[in-house]
Amino acid sequence: MHTVLDAIATGNPPTRCRQEEAARFMQQVEGSPEALRKRLPAIYEKTGIDYRYSAVEDYARAPEDFTFYPRHWDGDPPTTAERNQKYREVAPGLAERVASEALAESGHAPAEVTHLIAVSCTGFFAPGLDVELVKRLGLPRDTQRTLIGFMGCYAAFNAMRAAHHVCQHQENARVLVVCVELCTLHFQISQTIRSAAVNALFSDGAAAAVFSARKDDEARGRLAYAGGHTLLDDDSGGEMTWDIGDTGFLMGLTARVPKVIAGHLPGYLDALLPAEISRGEVDFWAIHPGGRAIVEQAQETLGLTDGQVADSFEVLRRRGNMSSPTVLFILKRFLERHQKARAAGQEGFRRGVAMAFGPGLTLEGARFERA
């Protein structure tokens, strides 16, 4: 059986801000050191991001019109409970939208879904996102559900691996993977360069993918998940963290992350790719843009061309780092090119590699092959 990637759909909340607008917004926040406020425009410009999306409408409003943050910055910041309530109000609808689009693009009816894998690390509630999606989408009540939480930017790979295991053991499997993150709910008042950098990177978004078990004749010519690999660096657990505080979830991120990741990449790729396949035989690279420096370091370490990392930079430029859905935004671009090539009578891509990085530090990745 092949684990065919049938479709990917992506989406964002309606509030979109230019990066320079976001910098100006954060400059207004009372409580930040004046010296840091002056540096914010340069920090935001350095990210390589032009636009970001948010579930918080305040980022596009004047302080007197705030509904999430205290008006005129004259009150306490939203509590964790208030931020989580906003997550509960927004996340299910956004997840439902991309899931519905992915199912429609795949040609599968909701009644055909056998398994649902929901991914998120920016909010909690129960009955959870998985239950909400079963009800909203009209999935069968016996749909097997898995919820993957608090794994950060690489979590989509754990979902894809789970989908692959299902498809390899159930010949009628139709697995719906849904990732949704509302990172901007947890922005904090910047007190350090490090916290300002976190505020400058993250964005909100959602993506859904449909995987199906297919026999050789059904899968021929289509992109299929062909395996994955995990690497945990035990010596860098403190380089990237995600904790629950009184005023939201608190992100810890050091400047060492790109170099630590780059140091592991050659050995990691050797383990991910079969011995008979060289890096030069990989047709596409979907590298999670945790930040511009991460992609730049990966490009230099792996000897990739500008064209091979252009899609990662473009998703970062247009949408920022959305945590777990981000790699699916990149994969969607390659899947659409492959499907367009096949429709035109061409072969399309032969194989590709996708990778993401997160707390641990953890490197996660997957191979995709034309069946």
CATH number for the domain spanning 355: value is: 3.40.47.10
Confidence of residue 9 (pLDDT cuts 50, 70, 90): very high
- Please list the residues that pair with 355 across neighbouring strands: 287, 365
Give CA–CA dist 153/306, Å, rounded: 23
Question: Residue 30 above 80 pLDDT?
Answer: no
Q: Is residue 350 part of a domain?
A: yes
Q: Is residue 277 part of a domain?
A: yes
- Please list the residues that pair with 229 across neighbouring strands: 365
Q: Total structural domains in the chain?
A: 1
pLDDT (0 to 100) of residue 221: 97
With CA atoms as reference, report the closest residue to 315 among 282, 340, 288, 293.
288
More confident residue, 123 or 191: 123
pLDDT mean over 344-366? 96
pLDDT (0 to 100) of residue 22: 92
More confident residue, 5 or 77: 5
Q: What is the pLDDT of residues 253-263, one digit of tens each?
A: 888 999 999 99
Domain that holds residue 227: 223-370
pLDDT mean over 258-282? 95
Q: Is residue 354 part of a domain?
A: yes
Question: Residue 138 above 70 pLDDT?
Answer: yes
Percent of the chain with pLDDT over 70: 100
pLDDT (0 to 100) of residue 309: 98
Q: Is residue 301 part of a domain?
A: yes
Q: Choose, from 17, 121, 153, 167, the residue flagged as catalytic.
A: 153
Q: Is residue 160 part of a domain?
A: no
**Cβ density class 312-323: b for 16+ within 10 Å, e for less:** bbebbbbbbbbb
pLDDT (0 to 100) of residue 34: 86
pLDDT mean over 317-334? 98
- Please list the residues that pair with 230 across neighbouring strands: 364
DSSP-derived 3-state class of residue 243 = strand
Q: Which residues contact 211 (CB under 8 A, 6 or more apart)?
A: 3, 4, 5, 6, 160, 163, 164, 167, 173, 174, 175, 177, 225
The yes-or-no answer on residue 153 being catalytic is yes
pLDDT (0 to 100) of residue 31: 72
Q: Is residue 38 part of a domain?
A: no
Question: Residue 190 above 80 pLDDT?
Answer: no
Q: Is residue 287 part of a domain?
A: yes
Q: Is residue 1 part of a domain?
A: no
Joined together, the tokens standing for residue 100 give: 């519905």
Q: What is the pLDDT of residues 160-183, one digit of tens each?
A: 999 999 999 999 999 999 999 999
Q: What is the pLDDT of residues 44-97, one digit of tens each?
A: 999 999 999 999 999 988 888 999 998 877 778 999 999 999 999 999 999 999
Confidence of residue 3 (pLDDT cuts 50, 70, 90): very high
